[in-house]
Amino acid sequence: MKNIVILISGRGSNMQAIVEACISEQWPAKIAAVISNKTDAAGLAFAAQHGIQTEVVVSKDFANREAFDSALQKTIDGYAPDLIVLAGFMRILTPAFVDHYAGRMLNIHPSLLPSFVGLATHKQALDAGVKLHGATVHFVTAELDHGPIAAQIAIQVEDDDTEDSLSQRVLEQEHLIYPKVVRQFIEGRIRLVGNRVRISK
Ligand code: GRF
């Protein structure tokens, strides 16, 4: 059994999709813990209801990024993780933290990277007038929203789309691709070759 640790900061709907897929598809893996940097993250209740260990490491209690990341790393490593899944974890990570989990930490970003890094991606897409928008699952590297891409999914942008409607349709797709990539990783089917991700059948 592989150990997965999921980090959240809020709603946790991607975390829920991964937990549900892990259970219903009987992955050879266990969600060892769901860890939040905020006490009021709504996703914590879902995790606890599913018998998953939850932890909170409150980011605002630490003097600086290094101190927080080092405490977080200690908590994560207590679960001997094979894979760290960032699911709406709203933190910029230090290079030391990212290096420690090199090749075993995934993130989902609500845009077709490398377009629209950072926040407000749906607004960025509308402002740019793109006709295709979507989501990206990528390995985490020190540069924000820039790691090797494992999967992308695209949707059409319609004339009457708003930030809300786009965010809703992209999120539905996120819930499909993120569990799929996590499963591929757990099954040992994902290989990093330089900046490219190879997925075997
Ligand atoms: C998602 O849109 C994800 O792509 C982004 O943050 C949002 C998290 O939503 N990184 P949820 O907490 O998984 O519901």
Pairing outcome for strands 54-56 and 149-156: unpaired
The best mutation among 14, 123, 168 to test binding of ligand 1, ranked by most ligand atoms within 8 Å of the C-beta, falls on: 14
Residue 182 tokens read as 């996590």
Check pocket membership of 108 for ligand 1, CB cut-off 6 A.
yes
131 phi and psi, to 5 degrees?
-95, -20
Q: Summarize pLDDT for 42-56 with one digit per residue, the tens.
A: 999 999 999 999 999
Sole residue written with tokens 């409150």? 58
3-state secondary structure of 58: coil
pLDDT of residue 20: 98
Work out which ligand 1 atom sits closest to the CA atom of 14: 13
pLDDT of residue 11: 97
Catalytic residue set: 109
The answer to whether the pTM exceeds 0.75 is yes
Quote the ligand 1 centre to 29 CA distance (angstroms): 22
The 8-class DSSP code of residue 111 comes to S
Q: Does residue 193 have a pLDDT over 90?
A: yes
Q: Summarize pLDDT for 113-167 with one digit per residue, the tens.
A: 999 999 999 999 999 999 999 999 999 999 989 999 999 999 999 999 999 999 9
Percent of the chain with pLDDT over 90: 97
Q: Does residue 201 have a pLDDT over 90?
A: no
